[in-house]
Amino acid sequence: MTAQDPANAPASAPRILVVGSGAVGGFYGAKLAEAGAEVSLLCRSDFDVVRTQGLHIDDLGKPRQFIPHRVINDIADYPGWPDYMLVALKALPEIDVATMVAPKMGPTTTILLIQNGIETEIPLAEAFPDNELLSALAFICVSRTAPGCIARTDYGRLAMGRYPNGVSERAQTLGKLFEAAGVPCAVTDNVARARWRKLVWNAPFNPISVLSGGSDTLQMLEHTPTEKLIEAVMWEVLAIAEAAGCPLKPEVVAKNLADTRKMVPYKTSMLLDFEAGRPLEVEAILGNALRRAEALGIAAPHMASLHGLLSLLDANNRR
Amino acid sequence: MTAQDPANAPASAPRILVVGSGAVGGFYGAKLAEAGAEVSLLCRSDFDVVRTQGLHIDDLGKPRQFIPHRVINDIADYPGWPDYMLVALKALPEIDVATMVAPKMGPTTTILLIQNGIETEIPLAEAFPDNELLSALAFICVSRTAPGCIARTDYGRLAMGRYPNGVSERAQTLGKLFEAAGVPCAVTDNVARARWRKLVWNAPFNPISVLSGGSDTLQMLEHTPTEKLIEAVMWEVLAIAEAAGCPLKPEVVAKNLADTRKMVPYKTSMLLDFEAGRPLEVEAILGNALRRAEALGIAAPHMASLHGLLSLLDANNRR
């Protein structure tokens, strides 16, 4: 048995510190605690509420309460260092994750980064070359509904792998913990490809939902010029991914379009962020992929158009 | 002396009916009346005010009043037919200009179409193949400030020519009338090229000002990804224009960018329309040019991106 085996709890329960305890971090932290891990939260905005009442989770209609092992608002207050540093912050250029977690990165601390976008792992990999870095994608509809309250309305699965590639014992351990708590977790040996695969959807739908004046998925697909734009962006993502060494099957384009048409029309997470006046993940979703495209000599004029518009809109929105 | 000679007024003053008496139609109608023409207005929204008080014009800070020869709200009330049908309606697919003016298109009536965009002349040329059609571009900052009130804040010049090309006696006559009233009017034998030339500015700046969340000219040019997008769209317009038989000098790209940088930052007319909840000239500015590009086998992915976004945004805005 390893120190990370949940069957060994509480003495050998893995110690997890969740950094960025918004909806995503709070939800997955709660799940890991259910599976027997010792989960602490680093909270900023909702610190007082969460410290006294824990997190209230409306999980697909079922109410749950999560009382974290510790709730802190200064990372220095965490004793020792965690086995896992679960980072679920928005992927924004102004958030320096490496500096934020550095005080509690012990020699055996593994980072679990749950974020959208491409190549957001790089600053962490550079800052902590001797620590294991697990990269994960969350397929989930979850949002903060009030201070200390979050609601999951759909999905929940994770895809996870070691960065830049491969599978490790720690990835397997964490995957089993998530599965034990009812969270499907696909451990992959090529998380970079999984990220490009998810970008096929994110790169068109998230920006276009905002730029077209607040459209849901069905409005975007039913308006022919926009549908064509969505498909054109998807092909550009495939071309960049292939040049970057992560070829995807061409069928993913048709599959993404067909699957989205089948779903109840909904607002993308970027549109919800925009409507709430929050910063947008422009660089993680478009900018990083475009820089990769430029370095590889791949043309992506539709994505460049979205980036030119969305980056200025985001700048205007922050003013 | 011809019947159109203003020196001959009032007996032989040209009879002009202005259709679409918003800011642009009202302003140029007033100027033609100053030069001695008999100018009537077909008004809809401001009919009662304009009929009783005429148009109040704040012309670069100087107040002027324009009492039209006639103010009507039904084109059937115009006696006989005009020498010139001055059409200054927004270029929108739902506005059927040909049907609107048909009741008063006499055998000697010349149309003067003052609109932005590309190929908006086609429906009129097809509906009235035996009437002369003059096509004009207005370089002017003018807006309706209250019912019956308009203000010109900058510019005012016109470029005008016979559609599809050439110069006619009537174009010269009208050009002299405008010049007599202090409106610089360049009569050109290639108005199609003049339209493509103006589109070099309109195709990027108008859509991007709206899509980037409401940006003025300087904000668009100071944000590098947006500046690059503007320039990319300009090169696409040049490529389509050249394939369409209207080659433009490559220098117009740098000149447009430099001239715009020199100006006091301002909001485009499309942004003002958007902010006022008015329909946008998406097809005249982007759609017609893209259809021409497709027919000619020219790629214009940046313009197609803007069109995909702007057409859905406009549709959302009209709901």
Which one, of B12, B5, B2, B14, lies nearest residue B83 by Cα?
Answer: B14
Going B288 to B294 to B297 to B298, the CA torsion angle's sign is: positive
Which one, of A14, A18, A36, lies nearest residue A27 by Cα?
Answer: A18
Asked if B305 reaches chain A (Cβ–Cβ under 8 Å), the answer is yes
Say if the Cβ atoms of A228 and B308 lie within 8 Å: yes
Give tens-digit pLDDT for A59-82: 999 999 999 999 999 999 999 999
Asked if B220 reaches chain A (Cβ–Cβ under 8 Å), the answer is yes
Say if the Cβ atoms of A313 and B211 lie within 8 Å: yes
Give tens-digit pLDDT for B156-212: 999 999 999 998 999 999 999 999 999 999 999 999 999 999 999 999 999 999 999
Of B223, B304, B313, the CB nearest to A212: B313
Asked if B228 reaches chain A (Cβ–Cβ under 8 Å), the answer is yes
Interface test with A, best of B229, B282, B312 (most A CBs within 10 A): B312
Asked if B225 reaches chain A (Cβ–Cβ under 8 Å), the answer is yes
**ipTM of predicted complex:** 0.91
Of A223, A307, A315, the CB nearest to B311: A223
| Chain B residues within 8 A of A307 when measuring between CB atoms | 225
Residue A24: pLDDT above 80? Answer: yes
pLDDT (0 to 100) of residue B176: 96
Interface test with B, best of A210, A211, A270, A294 (most B CBs within 10 A): A211
Asked if A215 reaches chain B (Cβ–Cβ under 8 Å), the answer is yes
Domain ranges across chain A: 6-189, 193-318
- CATH entry, B193-318, from 1.10.1040.10, 3.40.50.10860, 2.130.10.10, 3.40.50.300: 1.10.1040.10
Q: Please, what's the b/e burial string for A175-212 (b: 16 or more CB within 10 A of its CB; e: otherwise)?
A: bbbbbbbebebbbbebbbbbbbbbbbbbbbbbbbbbbb
Cβ pair A303, A236 in contact under 8 A:
yes
pLDDT (0 to 100) of residue B315: 96
Alpha-carbon gap: B222 to the closest alpha carbon of chain A (Å): 10
Q: Tell me the sheet residues that pair with B159.
A: B137, B186
Alpha-carbon gap: B223 to the closest alpha carbon of chain A (Å): 7
Give tens-digit pLDDT for A211-236: 999 999 999 999 999 999 999 999 99
| Chain A residues within 8 A of B305 when measuring between CB atoms | 229, 232, 301-302, 305-306
- Could you tell me which residues come within 8 angstroms of residue B117 by beta carbon, excluding any fewer than 6 positions away? B91, B195, B199, B202, B281, B283, B284, B285, B288
Asked if A166 reaches chain B (Cβ–Cβ under 8 Å), the answer is no
Residue A6: pLDDT above 70? Answer: no
Tokens 């490496």 belong to A98
Say if the Cβ atoms of A302 and B305 lie within 8 Å: yes
Q: Is A197 helix (H, G, I), strand (E, B) or coil?
A: helix
pLDDT (0 to 100) of residue B9: 41
CATH for the stretch B6-189: 3.40.50.720
Residue A5: pLDDT above 60? Answer: no
Q: Is A186 helix (H, G, I), strand (E, B) or coil?
A: strand
C-alpha–C-alpha distance, residues B224 and B187, integer Å: 37
In this prediction, residues A106-116 reach a mean pLDDT of 97
pLDDT (0 to 100) of residue B7: 42
Helices (H), B163-223: 169-180, 191-211, 217-222
Asked if B129 reaches chain A (Cβ–Cβ under 8 Å), the answer is no
pLDDT (0 to 100) of residue A66: 97
Burial (Cβ within 10 Å: 0-12, 13-18, ≥19) of residue B223 = buried
Say if the Cβ atoms of B212 and A301 lie within 8 Å: no
Alpha-carbon gap: A196 to the closest alpha carbon of chain B (Å): 21
In this prediction, residues A265-281 reach a mean pLDDT of 94
Of B220, B304, B316, the CB nearest to A214: B316
pLDDT (0 to 100) of residue A4: 44
Of B213, B304, B308, the CB nearest to A312: B213
pLDDT (0 to 100) of residue A20: 87
Which one, of A219, A221, A249, lies nearest residue A237 by Cα?
Answer: A249
What is the share, in percent, of chain A residues with pLDDT greater than 70?
97
Average pLDDT over chain A reads 94
How many CB pairs lie under 8 A apart between chains A and B?
99
Residue A10: pLDDT above 70? Answer: no
Cβ pair B197, B117 in contact under 8 A:
no
Going A5 to A11 to A17 to A23, the CA torsion angle's sign is: positive
Cβ pair B190, B162 in contact under 8 A:
no
Q: Strand A62-66 vs strand A70-72: parallel, antiparallel, or unpaired?
A: unpaired
pLDDT (0 to 100) of residue B120: 96
Residue A295: pLDDT above 80? Answer: yes
pLDDT (0 to 100) of residue A240: 98
C-alpha–C-alpha distance, residues A234 and A226, integer Å: 12
pLDDT (0 to 100) of residue B154: 87
pLDDT (0 to 100) of residue A154: 87
Which one, of A230, A228, A212, A199, lies nearest residue B212 by Cα?
Answer: A212
Which residues of chain B, if any, have pLDDT below 70? 1-11
Alpha-carbon gap: B129 to the closest alpha carbon of chain A (Å): 32
